[in-house]
Structure 1
Amino acid sequence: MSVTTASPPVPSRLRTRALAVAGAVAASLAVWAVGEPLLGHDLVVAAPDQRPMDLGASQILVFSLLPGLLGWALLAVLERVTSRAGTVWAVLALLVLALSFAPLLSVEATGGSKAVLALTHVAVGAVLVPAFLRTTGARR
């Protein structure tokens, strides 16, 4: 008599990517929660010729959700048109992450506020890039 143990089901690509987007949002909100309410860095930024904007949890949620969804969509398109989708996507994702810091140089905000905002960018990238790359090798 032989005993067979069932291995845990491998998460689907869809589920893994959805959890990655949710995780990126949660990570950026966690950075915001530590930076603004706990440490007291008001995330008020003023772009040239614009009124100051106070970035609260809802703005952080939106600005972390959008890159996750757009990155997912781009990866899905790349997977349909190239066999090197993961590599192409990773290069583009890291380039976008690097470019996302540019606005921090042109807005007026305290050093602490800029640091918190920069860390939210890093948090989103730190969750999305490895999670999405982990799903590119999986076959349907």
Structure 2
Amino acid sequence: MSNTATASPIRQFAGGRVVYPLAATVAAVIVWLTAHSALDIDLKAKASGGDIQEIGLPLVIGVTLLVGFAAWGVVALLDRKSSSARTWWTLIASAVFVLSLLGPAGSGQGGSAKVALLCMHLVVALVLIPGFARTARKD
């Protein structure tokens, strides 16, 4: 019998990477609530085809969770395929973050909406990039 204790799969899941998509979603929701409710900013952006889309709370939650779990998948893939997973994750995620800023910068309706949407992108990146980097395989 071995003296080394191993964590159960549920504990590894709950205490590991799952926290980052959830924390990023909470951070985005806080920015949305602050902008929408506290500052009374009308969060709208130009969608494809020129239509104006309301950026509501369900959209913020859904997109942030989708991005967070997709990021988790990328980190998991990099862990399996690269001995430099942390470096690759940081480079890829930083590039995606910078590109993501083009969306709100170009399509946000009004200066306040653009700033609020950019802040949402920023807080999500500030949670996901260093969080997943911390768990990725070291170089």
Q: Distance in 2 between matches of 1:13 and 1:137?
A: 17
In structure 2, the residue matched to 1:57 is: 57
The residue type equivalent to 1:65 in the other structure is L
In structure 1, the residue matched to 2:105 is: 105
Deviation at 1:20, TM superposition (A): 1.0
In structure 2, the residue matched to 1:136 is: 136
Deviation at 1:73, TM superposition (A): 0.3
Matched-pair contact (CA < 8 Å) for 1:44–1:53: yes
> How many matched pairs?
129
In structure 2, the residue matched to 1:80 is: 80
The answer to whether the aligner puts 1:67 opposite 2:59 as a matched pair is: no
CA separation of 1:16/1:59 partners in 2, compared to 1, >3 Å: closer, same or farther? same
The residue type equivalent to 2:52 in the other structure is P
Alignment of 1:23-62 (within 5 A): 23-47=23-47, 49-62=49-62
TM superposition score normalised by structure 1: 0.84
The percent identity for this pair of structures is 28
Runs of at least 4 residues off by over 4 Å: none
Deviation at 1:66, TM superposition (A): 1.4
Matched-pair contact (CA < 8 Å) for 2:64–2:124: yes
TM superposition score normalised by structure 2: 0.85
Match of 1:49, SS state, is: helix
Match of 1:109, SS state, is: coil
Match of 1:12, SS state, is: helix
CA separation of 1:38/1:83 partners in 2, compared to 1, >3 Å: closer, same or farther? same
Alignment of 1:87-126 (within 5 A): 87-126=87-126
Matched-pair contact (CA < 8 Å) for 1:25–1:64: yes
In structure 2, the residue matched to 1:6 is: none
Q: Distance in 1 between matches of 2:108 and 2:19?
A: 34
Alignment of 1:4-15 (within 5 A): 12=12, 15=15
Structure with larger RCO (C-alpha < 8 A, sep 6+): 1
Q: Deviations over 1:6-31 (max 9, x none)?
A: xxx8x736632101110000000000
Deviation at 1:76, TM superposition (A): 0.5
Q: Distance in 2 between matches of 1:16 and 1:113?
A: 34
Deviation at 1:115, TM superposition (A): 0.5
